Structure 1
Amino acid sequence: MPSTVEELSPNRVKLTVEVPFAELKPSLDKAYKSIADQVTIPGFRKGKVPAMVIDQRFGRGMVLQEAINDALPGLYSKAVQETEITPLGQPEVEVTKLEDGDVIEFTAEVDVRPQFDLPDFSTVAVEVDAVEVSEELVERQLQSLRERFGTLTDVDRPAAEGDVVSIDLTATRDGEPLQDAQAEGVSYKIGAGGMLDGLDEALTGMSAGESKDFTSTLVGGPARGTEADVHVTVVKVQEQELPELDDDFAQMVSEFDTADELRADVVGRLANMARQEQAAKARDAVLEALVAEIDIALPEGLRTGELEARKQQIQNQLNQAGMTLEQYLAESEESEEAETPEEFWAEVEQRATQALKAQLLLDKVADDHEIGVEQDDLTQHIFRRAQQSGSSPEQEMQHMMEHNHLPEWMTEIRRGKALALVVQQATVTDSNGDPVDLVNLAEDGSLRDPSAEAASVESPDSPDSPDSPDSPDSPDSPDSPASPASPAETESR
């Protein structure tokens, strides 16, 4: 199947493909069969109408058109493989020659991955924050654990900070109740914050049966952002009694015998979480540094399509939350960087551009290093998604099949493996100047012992063959590949 490639621009080409008419025969037979199954012609059983009769009744042109439409996707894919181009997006296809029984010719204009050179990964150096587990954070975790096993006792006294109160709330404006701004029997810990500004101050000193009015800005529901008059009534005041952090408590809430062992476990878990966060930041930093080093001219259609998709996703999320962009910016921490809608959309455009460049870079790394995706990679990816979403692997598998996510997930896995390869060659240090070990970082954030792992897989029958098929996977395949998705926006399922 002769094909030629004409470069229209550095990132757009025109394929001209000549197809011998014989290659159209399977689609032509399929078209005749489809038409025969749909029409009723006297003297012929349904589905048994000869091709000659269909040509006479409906015209050969209609049959050819249906056959060509059926064959074009496969013919285009074959031409792409033969010419070894890397398409980005959907092609614009036009049939330029049709000689019945002889030849078909079509053209396809499509954006392609621009040509660029990869930098030397070993020259990339980034710095991330050192892993630190503060005593304050440890104490907060232990305090939270004590509160989970604490007991509440009704008290006949004014409420104070740390007490748990049961309250009724009603919000009005100009004397009229606001929609979905009433609640009864709400349990609230004084000092916790996060419900209504001024609520802690109003509740402090109130006893069961007492009421108070104050003014606040609502933070949820249809009246979000509305200043309202709030009437609060205390139904019950309870004092929280916390268990002592001793050996008995440790034995009750964990598998440990002593409070010291429990504390050490908390410290270890927090350290693992911090290492996971550090690793994610390291991957992002390396990728960002690489993108800054290369000059990639993005196809305009690709960039515009990505930007519009992100805008639509953000707008849908705002609509679901019942918020305007202005309200979101007023309440979000991101408002420190983007104070106006214009600034916000400019940031979204910049992130979309950087994300596309990162994806193109990782795809080239994967191609150049012939990185593939194995069944085990997909299985581990499904398990990770299930763990993150609180679902089961079976549910994730069903979701993948129902929504045809397999190609998308395979691409995500491949890019993750490419990023892992890049990160392992880069130099990553923490703010203390110490190297960050990402090779031996397990999925839970703990650090593997490479010597112990090697010993555990050594075969007694062939101790001198470390490269046997039973040896562990190469570190080029990380346990937790990072997605090169843009920061800030969340991905919809």
Structure 2
Amino acid sequence: MEVKMEKIETNVVKFEVKVEAEKFNNALNKAYKKNVSKFSVPGFRKGKVPMNMVKQYYGVGVLLEDAVNFVIDETYPVALKDNDIRPVDYPEIDVIEVGEGKDLVYTAKVTVYPEVELGKYKAVEAKKVAYEVSEEEVEKQLKSMQEKNARVETKTEGTVENGNIAVIDFKGYIDGVAFEGGEGTDYSLEIGSGSFIDNFEDQLVGAAVGDKKEINVTFPENYGREEFNGKPATFEVTVKEIKVKELPVLDDEFAKEVSEFDTIEEVKEDIKKKAQESNDVRAKREFEEAVINLVVNNAKVEVPEVMINKEVEAMVKDLENRLSYQGLNLAQYYEFTGSSEDKMKTFMKERAEIKVKTDLVLEKIAKVENIDATEEELKTKAAEIAKMYSSADDSEKMAELILKAQESIIRTEVVTENTVKFLVENTKVIE
């Protein structure tokens, strides 16, 4: 086999492969054996027609396509390996010369992984922000705990006030026509929560049980559904019940009821501790992202369009999977957001290009710095994944199965994590 390779444009190479006539004739025999059961020639049982009779009766052309495919399947991967080429898509094949007793000549044009030219990636300078927990944050969490444990009772007298819960029936109209999703029965609306658009809730203040009100609002310009954006709407509302919330006192008794602590001060300290842990994780993640962005921006790489498009498709698939867990599909998502497949893919494209470039740069750094994953790290990562899908009793066995089935994927993930860790350790921190 003879192979000539040339770079015809950025990230695109073209092979010319010449395969010896003897090898192509062997492929013709293989094609004959594959298809012999399909041939029918007078005087021969089906499946027993000799090859020379097949060629005489049908012509050798009936075998050429399969023979060519057999040869390409065998020789194309060898051409890639011998020339250290990593394709990112299927090749565009052209057969130049083919025939029984002749050398097979074909060309393969293929997009390849781009060359990455690293810039400065060690000793870059990045800011690290420390997020402290404020007393306001602690009080906000306490307030949330208080709200969750509030008692709700029916208000027997008076009218709707801010903070009350109004139980309502409602029906919405745009241009006098009722619209889908604009109707509710026995809906509990907390006045002042901002759950409904515009000043809907404010217009219920002062209403009594049994009152029927006409409420006029305007949808926001960026509401998310094109037919609603910026449109005025009218709601017919009936107040059926008014409820009030009685908040528990934030004292030691409350602490004992809702937590494992004996005092409200211990609850506050626990809230503060957990919030600080969350803040530290956030600061760590943001610092890592800042370092990665610096390193990627310092590198030069032309990302092939096909790689970007593949990443977009992966993003769409990921979104589709997440929607399915909520009982939704893409069509419903497009309708709800006022979007479309083309609009969403255009929106995703920039993010996809950054993701692909980042992966390429981190992969290059890992190669240059000989960063790999140890067997222990692979087992640990597999165990982390197993915990999400199995009970404690089955997790060890599940981890073994996951590692066996997805070792290359897990290795890539661990190597990426180790590479990011390497970059962070070699970054000058600006507090």
On whether the aligned pair clears a TM of 0.5, the verdict is yes
Q: CA deviation at 1:105?
A: 3.4
Query: Is the deviation greater in 190-199 or in 33-42?
Result: 33-42
Cα distance between partner residues in 2 of 1:134 and 1:416: 35
Going from structure 1 to structure 2, the CA distance change for 1:132 and 1:239 (only over 3 Å counts) comes to: same
Letter in 1 for 2:126: V
C-alpha root-mean-square deviation of aligned residues, in Å?
A: 4.2
Cα distance between partner residues in 1 of 2:161 and 2:62: 83
What is the CA deviation profile of residues 150-179 of structure 1, one whole-angstrom value per residue up to 9, with x for unaligned ones?
221111222222222211111123443223
What is the CA deviation profile of residues 243-280 of structure 1, one whole-angstrom value per residue up to 9, with x for unaligned ones?
23333333333333333332222222222322333233
The equivalences for 1:156-235 within 5 A come to 156=156, 157-218=158-219, 219=223, 224-225=228-229, 226-235=231-240
Q: CA deviation at 1:32?
A: 3.3
Q: CA deviation at 1:185?
A: 0.8
What is the CA deviation profile of residues 363-416 of structure 1, one whole-angstrom value per residue up to 9, with x for unaligned ones?
3234333636965376357458869xxxx99xx99xx9xxxx969955862673
- In the other structure, the counterpart of 1:288 is 293
- In the other structure, the counterpart of 2:326 is none
- In the other structure, the counterpart of 1:272 is 277
Cα distance between partner residues in 1 of 2:373 and 2:20: 34
Q: CA deviation at 1:46?
A: 5.6
SS at match of 1:166: strand
Is 1:259 equivalent to 2:259 in the alignment? no
Q: Is the 8 A contact 1:373 1:413 kept in 2?
A: no
Is 1:321 equivalent to 2:334 in the alignment? yes
SS at match of 2:249: coil
The equivalences for 1:31-430 within 5 A come to 31-39=31-39, 49-98=49-98, 100=100, 103-156=103-156, 157-218=158-219, 219=223, 224-225=228-229, 226-299=231-304, 301-302=305-306, 305=309, 320-322=333-335, 350-368=350-368, 369=370, 371=372, 376=379, 379=382, 382=385, 413=413, 416-417=416-417, 419-427=419-427, 429=429
Q: Is the 8 A contact 1:3 1:18 kept in 2?
A: yes
Query: Is the deviation greater in 277-286 or in 51-60?
Result: 51-60
Q: Is the 8 A contact 1:169 1:232 kept in 2?
A: yes
What is the CA deviation profile of residues 451-478 of structure 1, one whole-angstrom value per residue up to 9, with x for unaligned ones?
xxxxxxxxxxxxxxxxxxxxxxxxxxxx
Going from structure 1 to structure 2, the CA distance change for 1:151 and 1:72 (only over 3 Å counts) comes to: farther
Q: CA deviation at 1:14?
A: 1.9
Going from structure 1 to structure 2, the CA distance change for 1:2 and 1:214 (only over 3 Å counts) comes to: same
What is the CA deviation profile of residues 29-81 of structure 1, one whole-angstrom value per residue up to 9, with x for unaligned ones?
65334423445566666655544444344433332311332452453223212
Letter in 2 for 1:238: K
Letter in 2 for 1:3: V
- In the other structure, the counterpart of 1:475 is none
Going from structure 1 to structure 2, the CA distance change for 1:31 and 1:240 (only over 3 Å counts) comes to: farther
- In the other structure, the counterpart of 1:6 is 6
Cα distance between partner residues in 1 of 2:374 and 2:40: 50
Percent identity of equivalent pairs? 26
Going from structure 1 to structure 2, the CA distance change for 1:25 and 1:384 (only over 3 Å counts) comes to: farther
Letter in 2 for 1:198: N
- In the other structure, the counterpart of 2:325 is none
Cα distance between partner residues in 2 of 1:384 and 1:274: 25
Going from structure 1 to structure 2, the CA distance change for 1:348 and 1:321 (only over 3 Å counts) comes to: closer
Cα distance between partner residues in 1 of 2:59 and 2:218: 71
Cα distance between partner residues in 1 of 2:146 and 2:24: 74
What is the CA deviation profile of residues 196-243 of structure 1, one whole-angstrom value per residue up to 9, with x for unaligned ones?
211221122222222222211345778533321112222111111222
Cα distance between partner residues in 2 of 1:423 and 1:66: 50
Q: CA deviation at 1:348?
A: 5.8
SS at match of 1:276: helix
SS at match of 2:131: coil
Cα distance between partner residues in 1 of 2:149 and 2:251: 13
Cα distance between partner residues in 1 of 2:308 and 2:265: 57
Using the size of structure 1 for normalisation, the TM-score is 0.68
Cα distance between partner residues in 2 of 1:26 and 1:129: 68
Q: CA deviation at 1:118?
A: 2.3
Q: Is the 8 A contact 2:131 2:280 kept in 1?
A: yes
Cα distance between partner residues in 2 of 1:38 and 1:264: 80
Number of residue pairs matched? 402
Cα distance between partner residues in 2 of 1:27 and 1:418: 47
Going from structure 1 to structure 2, the CA distance change for 1:272 and 1:200 (only over 3 Å counts) comes to: same
Letter in 2 for 1:296: V
- In the other structure, the counterpart of 2:324 is none
Cα distance between partner residues in 1 of 2:387 and 2:217: 42
Cα distance between partner residues in 2 of 1:377 and 1:105: 50
Q: Is the 8 A contact 2:39 2:54 kept in 1?
A: no
Q: CA deviation at 1:24?
A: 6.2
Cα distance between partner residues in 2 of 1:282 and 1:294: 19
Q: CA deviation at 1:193?
A: 0.6
Cα distance between partner residues in 2 of 1:165 and 1:286: 50
- Answer with 1 or 2: which has the greater Rg: 2
Q: Is the 8 A contact 2:255 2:267 kept in 1?
A: yes
Cα distance between partner residues in 2 of 1:186 and 1:4: 73
Q: Is the 8 A contact 1:160 1:190 kept in 2?
A: yes
Q: Is the 8 A contact 2:94 2:107 kept in 1?
A: yes
Q: Is the 8 A contact 1:128 1:429 kept in 2?
A: yes
Going from structure 1 to structure 2, the CA distance change for 1:4 and 1:276 (only over 3 Å counts) comes to: farther
Q: Is the 8 A contact 1:377 1:413 kept in 2?
A: no
Structure 2 residues without counterparts, runs of 5 or longer: 320-328
